[in-house]
Amino acid sequence: MKLAEPDNPVRYSWLADHGFRLSPGPFVSESYAARKFVEGLPRTETLSEVTERIFHPGRVTRRWTTSPEHGVPFLSSADIFQADLSTLALITRKSYEENDRLPLEPGWTLVTRSGMTAGRVTYARLDMAGYACSEDVLRIVPNRDRIPPGYLYTFLASSLGTAMIKGTVYGTSVKHIEPVHLVDLPIPRLNDEVEQRIDSLWQRASQRRADFQDGITKATRDLFESAGVSEFTGLRWHDLPRDVNFTAPSVNALTLRSLNFSPRAQRILERLRSVPHRTLGNICRDGTLRTGARFKRIDASAANGVRLIGQRQAFWMRPEGRWINPRQAPSDVMQRDESVLVAAHGTLGDTEVYSRSIFVTGSWLAHAFSQDFVRVVSGDPEISGAYLFAFLRSEVAFRLLRCMSVGGKQQEYNPVLLRHLPIPECTPSDRKRIAGAVRQAYQWRDEADALEDEAQALLAEGMHEGTQG
């Protein structure tokens, strides 16, 4: 049951706005309360007054390609929230050039405009410059002469901003937001110094997110080059000869599935075994290599629980999981520092997260994780989790893991094949350098989160002072 908030009670003017109706629905709506609160601040401007335009590109023809030379990374309405953008699908340059409203520019605020997640907010990062983006995403282009872009994003991403945006959603089974619905949103204006400080924090956070992306990409490239298999730095799976008309040289009771004998995968495995390597099972012998225990979720408040992260949210910049009671969940929902989690259940679509990996360190150690991940914890002090992640996040590992799949609609890994996955060993100095690059990248990611949180706190403080003044 929703209740009106004691510090923001229903006012007489609200009743007048709705013809003095006495049903509580409109007045306990977060959107309406947020709008009225912002409108009550000393100084506001509408979104249309502080932006150059609010638009989406319209329906586009999507012709896909697997060739980076002939394609442009394409962001769907889910991809814009991803932490790692290195696995995006590509649309052809012809499709890209047919619509000059497809490219993104850093500093724009992005809002999902279609489906059950309509109204979610993020921003175009530095590493999204020039990327194509779906028509299911609204672009809010700030007028930099009127408002700092980081300040505008920080407000729109705040609890007040997102509440007002979600209040504009219309539709029944398929939700939508159109640009015209956002133009009259009130934007609070603070003094110039505070707005510039918020913008500065946002710019530093944006740079740190770009540094994170660059850092993990370089770590993976460094691993393959140091191991002597540099041809895997830009693996093009779909350009390899297709897996048709082949025979398996030896078949036993372990598996009869043809996918597990994929010639493409077997050639990659043979190449990895031709250089110094260790198997994943050997590295994790005294650590962990298994999926989590299934359990019943017992909800808890944020003050008394932990955020539970599932497969989908684990790959976002900022996760949005439910809060559960950790005392009524298995101990393995919490992870050790430098654990690698591999999405363990799913289907074989190229854009699915199944077989993708995340690295748990820093602030993410406070989260709980569902059973739908293989917990990969090194038991060898010479092979760190950071080094394992540099390999497991690669396209090579992604394809090999998928060729170890068993199951019907929902796939999972054959545990024996998984234990035999070869991991290039590299020299101790190489491993130390590669692991250090991964750790530094994740420190930058935590810094970006902290800077964005600081910007939100400064915004809240500025608006509170405005209500007091």
Dihedral sign of CA atoms 210, 214, 216, 217 in order = positive
Instruction: Please tell me the distance from the alpha carbon of residue 79 to that of residue 463, in angstroms, as a whole number.
Output: 32
pLDDT of residue 171: 77
* Dihedral sign of CA atoms 187, 190, 193, 198 in order: negative
Q: Mean pLDDT for each consecutive 10-residue tract of the chain (469 residues)?
A: 59 62 58 87 95 93 92 95 95 94 96 90 96 96 97 97 88 83 94 96 97 98 97 92 85 87 95 97 96 94 94 92 93 96 94 96 96 96 97 97 93 96 97 98 98 97 80
Bridge-based pairing state of the strands 357-360 and 71-75: unpaired
- Based on the number of CB atoms within 10 Å of its own CB, is 172 exposed (0-12), middle (13-18) or buried (19 or more)? exposed
Residues 6+ apart with CB under 8 A from 194: 458, 462
297: tokens are 């979720």
Q: Looking at residue 1, what is its pLDDT?
A: 41
Give, as one character, the DSSP assignment of residue 284: T
What's the pLDDT score for residue 26? Answer: 53
Which of 180, 154, 186 has its CA nearest to residue 168? 180
Q: What is the pLDDT of residue 156?
A: 97
Which residue's entry shows tokens 């007045």? 27
CATH numbers and ranges of domains, the chain: 1-40 (no CATH), 45-189 (3.90.220.20), 216-445 (3.90.220.20)
By residue count, the chain amounts to 469
Q: What is the DSSP string of 310-378?
A: -TTGGGBSS--PEEE-GGGS-GGGB--TTEEEEE-SB---TTS-TT-EEEE-GGGGGSEE-SSEEEEE-
Residue type at 24 in one-letter notation: P
